[in-house]
Structure 1
């Protein structure tokens, strides 16, 4: 997995490439902990995310809970495979996906 972050004022853009699974979810969680304080708008770009596991979903859900208290979170460019996972788990109903 590769994580690319861009910060502008109180907006954080996070692009994730590869697989978000048990081996990489802790890395994403640590990266988010560094930058989420003070962030009002969080945008995930999942264009190059090819797989997300339950551990990756946990990180996304916990991040959503934090952002619900301090701003907004949007997930963009979700491919069909990842969208199927979001729909099967019910995450498509609780996340803002564009």
Structure 2
């Protein structure tokens, strides 16, 4: 998985490319842990994300809890396959998705 990070003041955008699964979830978790302090707007761009597993969903949930305390988290450009996973798991009701 490739993660591209852009910071604009207190806004952070992470663009994810590839698969967010058991093998790559620690990479995202580490990037988020190192980057979200002082951030009040977190955008996750999933335009190039091919797949998300339960390991990826766990990271999204824990990040959402952190961002609820310090600002907001928005997922953008999720493809149909990823949206299906969000719908089936109920994450579509928990996350802010544009």
Q: Secondary structure of 1:78's match?
A: coil
Inter-partner Cα distance in structure 2 for 1:73 and 1:56: 15
Structure 1, unpaired ranges of 5+: none
TM alignment of 1:19-98, pairs within 5 A: 19-98=19-98
Inter-partner Cα distance in structure 1 for 2:5 and 2:79: 20
1:40-94 CA-partner distances (Å, limit 9, x unpaired): 0000000000000000000011000000000000000010000000000000000
Inter-partner Cα distance in structure 1 for 2:17 and 2:62: 20
Structure 2, unpaired ranges of 5+: none
Which stretches of structure 1, 4 residues or more, deviate above 2 A after TM superposition?
A: none
TM-score (normalised: structure 1): 0.99
